[in-house]
Amino acid sequence: MAPAVGSRRGHLLWLTCMLCSAPARVAADSLVGNLVVTQNSSLPWPSSYLTRMGLKVSFLLHDPSDFFKSASFLYSWDFGDGTLMVTEDPVVYYNYSIIGTFTVKLNVVAEWEQARLDATKGIVQKTGDFSTSLKLQETLQGIQVLGPTLIQTFQKLTLTLNFLGSPPLTVCWRLKAECLPLEEGECQPVSVASMAYNLTHTFRDPGDYCFSIRAENVISKSHQYHRVQVWPSSLQPAVFAFPCATLITVMLAFIMYMTLRNATQQKDMVENPEPPSGVRCCCQMCCGPFLLETHSEYLEVVRENHGLLPPLYKSVKTYTV
């Protein structure tokens, strides 16, 4: 009975050892850990970082029992912008030069030697894939204004503002006589969620104006100015200049003509007053012989006025006895 009891105890002891080592075997089946990204800046948005500033990306392996203490690791990095990197160190430093949202991917391979049942040693390999999302932003470095600098009144002016920085932005603008910075509360802010913004305005009065523009995000702010010269609408198109000048010239000539004509008529009435047409006709018929110089002129006047009347003088018949 003793051997049986001993063998039974040995079997139970073997099962106990197997159960004790089970968590370590489960942990060894896959790598457990996470990626940690840090930067010497503080932004209020989650997972947001600045461009052109060094990022520290670290892989932290979860191994409380030191199961992988004798393992060697190989790290394959993919920063999402086309940059690949292979290191033996779990910590890398990287700079993003453009804004956007990127996903950092990491493949970790762990290798170590392990004794086999036949007393030989073999290479054991475990892998794990990890990733994290990053939102890269940049400071507002300036504002580019595109639009005309000369316009006429009652025309719609459109300016395009291109922001050299990361949205979201707060944009504020106002028209001034001089290009001066905007004070706090001087204009109504507008929220902009893109890299460009269209500003429209219609001028009613001519003059020189200056658009004072301010844009800012939580990182920084920037000012920009744009001068505009406004001309009256009636002076701008030259196509109306010639017709207007011609019309004014014709009107002046007509006025001068009418003035000279009235003056001439008044002078003629004072120097040579004429009776009405009826009186003149009657005078030509009745007083013609006295007013006309010759008899032929008198006959010509009578012929014109009474062409159908018989001649005033008849031929005298001569009889011979």
What pLDDT band is residue 183 in, cutting at 50, 70 and 90?
confident
Residue 302 tokens, joined: 């009578």
* Mean pLDDT of the region 159-167: 88
**Sign of the Cα pseudo-torsion (39, 41, 45, 49, in order):** negative
Above 50 in pLDDT, residue 47? Answer: yes
At a CB cut-off of 8 Å and minimum separation 6, what does 112 contact?
68, 70, 71, 72, 123, 124
Above 70 in pLDDT, residue 193? Answer: yes
Above 80 in pLDDT, residue 159? Answer: yes
- Report the percentage of the chain scoring pLDDT > 90: 39
Residue 266 tokens, joined: 């008044």
The most confident of the ranges 19-23, 54-58, 119-123, 271-275 is 54-58
Residue-level pLDDT at 202: 93
Predicted confidence (pLDDT) per residue in 4-44, tens digit: 434 444 443 333 333 333 333 333 467 999 999 999 877 77
What pLDDT band is residue 269 in, cutting at 50, 70 and 90?
low
Asked whether the beta carbons of 153 and 233 are under 8 A apart, the reply is: yes
**Sign of the Cα pseudo-torsion (138, 139, 141, 145, in order):** positive
Residue-level pLDDT at 317: 53
Alpha carbon distance 143, 221 (integer Å): 10
Lowest mean pLDDT among 33-47, 147-161, 273-287: 273-287
What pLDDT band is residue 290 in, cutting at 50, 70 and 90?
very low
CA dihedral 88, 94, 98, 99 (to 10 degrees): 100
Cα–Cα nearest to 98, from 135, 72, 70, 131: 135
Residue-level pLDDT at 272: 54
pTM of this structure = 0.49
Above 70 in pLDDT, residue 308? Answer: no
Compute the C-alpha angle 252/258/264, nearest 5°: 135
Residue 148 tokens, joined: 């005309």
Residue 134's CB is within 10 A of a number of other CB atoms, namely 21
What pLDDT band is residue 63 in, cutting at 50, 70 and 90?
very high
What HEC string does the chain produce?
CHHHHHHHHHHHHHHHHHHHHHHHHHHHHCCCEEEEEECCCCCCCCCEEECCCCEEEEEEECCCCCCCCCCEEEEEEECCCCCEEEECCCEEEECCCCCEEEEEEEEEEEEEEEECCCCCEEEEEEEEEEEEEEEEECCCCCEEEECCCEEECCCEEEEEEEECCCCCEEEEEEEECCCCCCCCCCCCCEEECCCEEEEEEECCCCEEEEEEEEEECCCCEEEEEEEEEEECCCCCCHHHHHHHHHHHHHHHHHHHHHHHHHHHHHHHHHHCCCCCHHHHHHHHHHCHHHHCCCHHHHHHHHHHHCCCCCCCCCCCCCCCC
Residue-level pLDDT at 292: 45
Residue-level pLDDT at 61: 95
Kindly report the average pLDDT of the chain as a whole number.
77
* Mean pLDDT of the region 160-187: 88
Predicted confidence (pLDDT) per residue in 132-150, tens digit: 999 998 888 889 999 999 9
